[in-house]
Structure formats: structure tokens, C-alpha cells
Structure 1
Amino acid sequence: MLRRAVALSLFTLSPASAHHVDAIDWPTKEAGMARFATMEYLLGLSFERLCGDTFCEDTYANLRPMQLSCSVDARKGTVRQCLWMFSGSSTSVHPKSGAVRASSRVYACRLPIARDTPVDSLYEALHGAELLHAKLPMTHRVIYDSLRDCLR
């Protein structure tokens, strides 16, 4: 919840001027928390199932989803944008000195959400077994394709 507090402090607007809200705050403050948390959890499980054979074979074998965040146009009840954050690291030992070297990377991956996708349609589409291959509403795209491009 710390990230939400920081985000709120950065983007504080009067309620009348807040056209876009975090998905957890749609249709009212924290009303979407359970549905969004379930969707984020299921997406994470789907990522973990595919990770070893796809995204996690390169430099960052321990690639992990960190946070999913979506904005909603509160006036229309439609998703404006979703960003899924990932992080990965790797270490190696220098053979002569014994020094441990570390590298890390953070990825910010935009999900291919169609313009004016109703929030409820997104939740319905992303509720199942293999969510990374589920067709997103109002488009022929899947999350897997955008992650493949992002996590290079």
C-alpha cells in the first residue's frame, strides 16, 4: 500500500477534477481492490508457469513480476493504461579475485489494452488458467506478445 500512498501524494487532485483513478479505486475508493488483486495474482501465476521456457532463459533467469498498475477513466469506466513492472538480477564470481559481481534490471511493460476497454471486460478476460495467452477485449492481442517485446 506504500506505493499507493506515494502515487496519491504525487498526483493529488480534487475529487471533481480526478478523471483517471487507479483501478483499485474504481468505481469508488478501494472498491476494485479485491478484483484487481486477484487479476494481478493470476497473471503472476501465469507468468511463473511460462517463465522458465521463455522470458527467464537469458541474462535474468530469476525474472519476477513486481507490480501491475492500471488507470481507469472514472467518467466512462474504461481502462486507460496498464503497466506491469518486472525485475531481474544475476550474479557471477570472478575466478581469480573471488569478487561477486551483480547486475540487475527493471522492466516497465505496457499491456496492449484497447482504447475504451470497459474495466469489467478486462477482469472477465483475465480470469482463467493461461492469462498471458488470453485474447484481450476489443483486440486480437495477447499479453504474451507485449511481454516478449518488453522483456528482451
Structure 2
Amino acid sequence: MYRFSFAAALFIVPAACLAQVPNSVPPRYVDAIDWPAHEAGLENFALAEEMLALSFDRLCNDTFCEGPYGNLRPMQLSCSVDAAKGTLKQCLWIFAGSATSVNAATGAVQVSAKIFKRKLQLARNTPVASFYDVMQGGELLNEKLPMTRRTVYENLVGCLP
């Protein structure tokens, strides 16, 4: 019994000590809401996401929402940031679309639903601050993404029905 306890202690104590060593290497990429520090970008990012969604809603009825998914909604914008450079690596905008109909014979409501995702075509090394500056405008879908010639709207064409 003593040998087993002593052998277990020789294994468990060093393993426990190693498990408590904090990761000293910071991650290369972080969520935009966590740049430059944990949740430091939350307010700016939430505002950008909200402004994009409002701009989409104003334009939707004349464009994308006339397609097979009349109930088309932006669900989430998510961006990754190179933590050392303060530049965007990637932004992905996710949409959900649905359409319903009623079966005339049974009265059952039938649903057709789909998820759409679109990478915003960002310029390489786009500063986070430049992205936020553009996202402060009014009709954001018609705004050019920083350091590019493409608008947000042009990024959505071909992705959404």
C-alpha cells in the first residue's frame, strides 16, 4: 500500500503542478469583441453588427427578400482579429431564411428554411478601427469596405437568394 501511494504521489503531484502552469503564449487570433482585451471591443462590434442589420432590413424588401426565402434575417456577424497587429483576418455574416405554406388538404404548416453564410471580402491587414469607422455610416450595404472597391452589398450578391 505504501509503495502504491508513494508511486501515485510521484506521478500525480508533478502532473498537477504542470496543469496549473498558465498558458504564457497569447493567442494569435481573437474574436473582435475581445480585442484589444477581453470584451473591450464588445460595444463597437455590437454597434457595427446592429447598424449592418438595420441597413440590411431597409434594403431587403426590394432585393433579397423577394426570393424563395421571404423571411430573411441577419443572424450574426463574427470577425477574427490578428491580436498582435490589430487587423481583421476574417468576417463572416450569417443569415437565416425561411418560407412557410399551408397544405390545403391537411392544414399542416410546411416550412422551408436555410442558413446562409458570407465572408466579407476584406482587404489584407484591414485595421479594426478602419472597419468600425465605415460601420458608423447610414446605409452600410452601400459603403465600401475599408481599403477595397467592393461594397457590403456586392459581398452579399451571389450568396443570398
What stretches of structure 1 of length at least 5 have no aligned partner? 1-13
User: What is residue 134 of structure 1 aligned with on the other side?
Assistant: 143
Hey, what's the Cα distance between the residues in 2 that align with 1:19 and 1:122?
19
1:122 to 107, 131, 147: 131
Report the 3-state secondary structure (helix = DSSP H, G, I; strand = E; otherwise coil) of the residue aligned with 1:120: helix
Report the 3-state secondary structure (helix = DSSP H, G, I; strand = E; otherwise coil) of the residue aligned with 2:110: strand
Question: Residue 112 of structure 1 contacts residue 142 of structure 1 at CA under 8 Å; is this kept in 2?
Answer: no
Hey, what's the Cα distance between the residues in 2 that align with 1:95 and 1:48?
31
Shift of 1:17: 4.2
Deviation digits for residues 54-77 of structure 1 (CA, Å, limit 9, x no counterpart): 010011111001000000000110
Hey, what's the Cα distance between the residues in 2 that align with 1:22 and 1:69?
7
2:152 to 127, 143, 151: 143
Shift of 1:99: 2.1
Large movers: runs of 4+ above 6 Å: none
Report the 3-state secondary structure (helix = DSSP H, G, I; strand = E; otherwise coil) of the residue aligned with 1:35: helix
Identity of aligned residues (%): 56
Hey, what's the Cα distance between the residues in 2 that align with 1:147 and 1:121?
20
- Establish whether residue 99 from structure 1 lines up as the match of residue 103 from structure 2: no
- Establish whether residue 24 from structure 1 lines up as the match of residue 25 from structure 2: no
Report the 3-state secondary structure (helix = DSSP H, G, I; strand = E; otherwise coil) of the residue aligned with 2:130: helix
Hey, what's the Cα distance between the residues in 1 that align with 2:94 and 2:62?
20
User: What is residue 76 of structure 1 aligned with on the other side?
Assistant: 85
Shift of 1:15: 5.9
The one-letter code of the counterpart of 1:85 is I
- Establish whether residue 46 from structure 1 lines up as the match of residue 55 from structure 2: yes
Report the 3-state secondary structure (helix = DSSP H, G, I; strand = E; otherwise coil) of the residue aligned with 2:138: coil
When the two chains are superposed, the root-mean-square deviation of aligned CA atoms in Å is: 1.4
The one-letter code of the counterpart of 1:90 is A
